[in-house]
Structure 1
């Protein structure tokens, strides 16, 4: 039971990696709304309305979790998020229709293992409360969202489990990847045909005229800029020992490690809805086992393996480490009341009758000031940096606006330094650091910036960073003249024609070789190579598609340098036994791939069955989410 919950996670992770967004505690229940009115409705699925506000919220939430928040303004982003929301709801509605039940133990397990609620790798009740409050959630609301999400996952689990390839197929796959062909190569390099290529001025002119867009210089600019950065402000803060100690004393409870307990149990399970006599029989068996344990405490693992109805029986009943909140209340109360190596009396839960042995206790101790001095200093620096940023941000914005032709005011009052860029292309090429941000690039190449050469407004890049830029030099987009690009065009056309000559010559010689005619050639030393070691897909297809009835065999293929002929001298096809240990690892990978494919098809079927409508003319713009 408890162990089965843990064992299912791997399959669930495979499913969710593709079907729905990895679980975030903010954003499932409110995306679709069953409300009257159509003004804000942008689509429907299964009769439920999708509203513009929910789409914008999801777009902003996802973008805020990315390193580059400007993702929200990229083409196609809105459609991707909307598609994800529809997929989630399709699975949710199907799960609800199937009446899937999510046990409480799964909810508790998800709660204590939520990464957002952990500190130093351990569950922190205080942090959980803080994070939930930050997002306007109670623990009850959070658990409701977890329940819906897990219900969707449970719907997917059976399909993921059946996507399994036969061992014979996997063995064959390994044999193909391990097959080696011993080949020698005869290169007909492009360079050796260059001298034979004749290019006319007309050909160069024609190519230039038909590819003018390729020979345009983008607009580019040089700028000077100033950056107000909370991290830089924080790095200048010196945290004294007294300040750090005062913080430690007033927050000492935050440095108490979460106590975790390791226990083993023997479960005599009782099915849901069992009759009174069934429960009595199960309890009697548990009491008999408890008597044996009191007589021989060292036999716990043996008795668990022989009698426990939980999947943890294979491990002698071992459940591993767990914190408070992970187990059902009755089990938790008993486990946390025991001393190490002590065995409990009979504990009844909704799953049946347990006998618990506490095997270890870890955590629960207060970390010393010396242990957390670095963490405290970093936290106080971060707070100071945020405070200084809040104080300076308005001043920064006012100064770059009020003195639009200089950054002197910002330098003098805020102690910042002016930085200078080299040429930056309008597309962002060669833009370093903050200048590569789409918001900054847009400000640099805005018509007003280029024409007036004044400071941009303070650009908020998020994560405590403000920037202002001023264009100091500008070159508009222009057509590069033919004389400037002629050498590049000539080299390109010459390479194309040389490749044609190399291929024609190679195919002619290959035909002679296959006809049994002697040909003077320069072969490389023969090498035994696998498919993965071929230089290109074209070469791999040519060499490994060659018939093996008669050797040597000859094949040809276009290469990066021209054309090559390959002489296949030997073929080694390995035999892979069905007990080969490599089969299990590869089978897991292939099964995941096939499971994903099957689940995509199921997802499409769900959407088709429920019915999806999208009102394109009502969709909010990407820029709305970026605001």
Structure 2
């Protein structure tokens, strides 16, 4: 994607992303207030009795997609980090409704002032607003995201409103006195020293019983792990982007806008970012060729979507039975195919579609067989219900290797844990008799590894390898008295026993140097935490109603924004 966004995706935009990402954790279809009834006719849903229509939903969707792009440097797909379309959109609509309820209004002048402050729109030499860069930016979001100038301006106005919402509702959490911040800093940066004995499961693999009887028992005891979940098969018509490349080529060659967009994108990127498949630097000509091909592929996919929508509109006028898709495909001289079986959690084999496709597909039935088209990486699919395959359990002979590995892993860890607990008890008794932890370890046949002056700021302890981690050691050290030995503590690959030799405060010069920034961060975190708590309670009490529907909350609702129509 475009480097001028990637270079600045931190952007200093405390108002871009502060709400869009963080409150997803509070939203789920099972949240209190997430009802399915009482929605006004003609609406997609409602919030506090106010109808949310198609235009409301699409405006919020455009803004959520743009916010994701500004954070991640790429447009969201089903496999994107932290992206769930329906969650993002409904959550955004809810927060905007709260801002409206509290009387938060943002004028065009304030939004415009925020736009000209954006770092990636400033001239690198003068630091002033660069109008040409702004126009280039608008060209990029139009071509890649289908977003107009008015969409971006509305996005900025609403982001400022949401920032004000955070400031207003989180005000109480920002009241952190300097003395309290200092106490928190000292607690967070206390330094610990001692010794640790590590019990790695890998050291006990040779002791695991891997006889057929043991493997059979392990399979029987954990049969649920080898269960195949319910699967779905859909029938579909595929509109491949490659079918429209010639048309895309013609449209590309007859428009000067595309060439200008490519020029703008290339100018904004560092030369070092242009590399071939082997990672070697590209020539300007090769970079332009690659970017041109990317534009053409996106345009071809947009044309494929247009044809898919035409097909879908005809399908929706037919009798709502699964066979209607096959009949329409035959009538138009197209091929209706069947998908490979897929479950609700793994990608549909061979289709390369967003993960939201699975949720929409599993909402289908023989009585309600149609869904909205889904846009994949290489094609657009119009699909319908075909059949469900009940869950089943795989027989042992088909999963023998998998069961064997599971037994080896779980039993070796159990052996490591048993050895660790026995050592912890013996070491505590030995130290009580006057021996050192190192002596007790050596008598038991283990090596005590020194760990000196580790704190929350410590990134790693190389002498320990990957396990235990610093955070695992800290959790034990913070609750352990000096001179004491911990019990055995489990970790991912076995566990450890810690002897704590000393606890020391952070150095005074470090405290004075870092406290101002720590105080600022503590206040920001406090404000944000207070806002999160307010938002959680408000959402639980709000009357948020969005009935389940196939496709309406899926990635396909974003179809109008991925290119030219």
Q: TM-score range by the shorter chain?
A: 0.5 to 0.7
Separation of aligned partners in 2, 1:148 and 1:468: 34
Cα shift at 1:459: 6.7
SS of residue matched to 2:103: helix
- CA shift, 1:187, in A, is 3.6
Determine if contact 1:181/1:529 at 8 Å carries over to the other structure: yes
1:108 matched to 2:112: yes
Larger CA Rg, structure 1 vs 2: 1
Tell me what 2:427 maps to: 510
Cα deviations by residue, 1:125-167 (Å, 9 ceiling, x for unpaired): 9969989xx87x997x997886676456445435667715344
Secondary structure of the structure 1 residue equivalent to 2:543: strand
- The answer as to whether partners of 2:344 and 2:362 remain within 8 angstroms in 1 is no
Identify the match of residue 523 of structure 2 among 591, 604, 614. Answer: 591
Secondary structure of the residue that 2:433 maps to in structure 1?
A: coil
Report the CA distance shift for 1:506/1:431 in structure 2 as closer, same or farther (over 3 A): farther
Alignment partners' CA distance in 2, 1:376 and 1:563: 50
| Structure 2 segments unaligned to the other structure (5+ residues) | 1-11, 25-37, 69-74, 122-128, 265-284, 313-324, 366-370, 384-388, 462-467, 557-565
Match of 1:574 in 2: 506
With over 3 angstroms needed to count, the CA separation of the structure-2 counterparts of 1:39 and 1:95, relative to structure 1, is: same
Query: Which residue of structure 2 aligns with residue 213 of structure 1?
Result: 224
Contact 2:210–2:408, Cα closer than 8 Å, also in 1: no
Q: Secondary structure at the match of 2:486?
A: strand
Structure holding more strand per residue: 1
Contact 2:47–2:97 (CA under 8 A) maintained in structure 1: no
Provide Cα deviations, 1:564-595, integer angstroms capped at 9, x if missing partner. 33333444433335873323333333322211
- Equivalent residue, structure 1, for 2:415: 498
Change (3 A) 1:524 1:164: same
CA distance in 1, matches of 2:204, 2:373: 55
2:486 aligns with one of 541, 544, 555: 555
Are the equivalent residues in 2 in contact too, given 1:20–1:84 (CA < 8 A)? no
Partner residue of 2:133?
A: 121
Partners of 1:373 and 1:191 in 2: CA distance: 51
**Contact map agreement 1:230 1:385 (CA 8 A) in 2:** yes
Q: Which residue matches 1:50?
A: 51
Structure 1 residue corresponding to 2:542, chosen from 593, 598, 612: 612
**Which of 523, 540, 543 does residue 474 from structure 2 map onto?**
540
Deviation track 1:511-556 (CA, whole Å, cap 9, x = no partner) reads 21331254314334423141344724543322343223xx4x4334
Whether the 8 Å CA contact 1:12–1:157 is kept in 2: the answer is: no
CA distance in 2, matches of 1:444, 1:208: 32
**5+ residue gaps, structure 1:** 1-8, 22-35, 257-369, 411-420, 449-456, 470-474
Contact 2:204 2:413 (C-alpha < 8 Å) held by counterparts: no
Per-residue CA deviations over 1:341-396 (Å, capped at 9, x if unaligned) read xxxxxxxxxxxxxxxxxxxxxxxxxxxxx9x9989967995798479758997999
Q: Is the 8 A contact 1:216 1:480 kept in 2?
A: yes
Residue 596 of structure 1: how far off its partner (Å)? 0.8
TM-score (norm 2): 0.55
User: Residue 435 in 1 paired to residue 445 in 2?
Assistant: no
Cα displacement string for residues 214-257 of structure 1 (whole angstroms, at most 9, x for unaligned residues):
124679999xx998654896599889xxx98x9769999x999x
- Alignment length, in residue pairs? 447
Q: Could you tell me which residue of structure 2 aligns to residue 92 of structure 1?
A: 100
For the residues of structure 2 that align with 1:584 and 1:488, how far apart are their CA atoms?
51
Distance 1:463 1:567, change over 3 A: closer
Partner SS for 1:621: coil
Tell me how far apart the structure 2 counterparts of residues 175 and 55 of structure 1 sit (CA, whole Å). 48
Q: Deviations over 1:78-133 (max 9, x none)?
A: 4664343233212212125xxx7x566414324667899998622479969989xx
Q: How far apart in 2 are the matches of 1:129 and 1:568?
A: 56
Aligned-pair CA distance for 1:599: 1.7
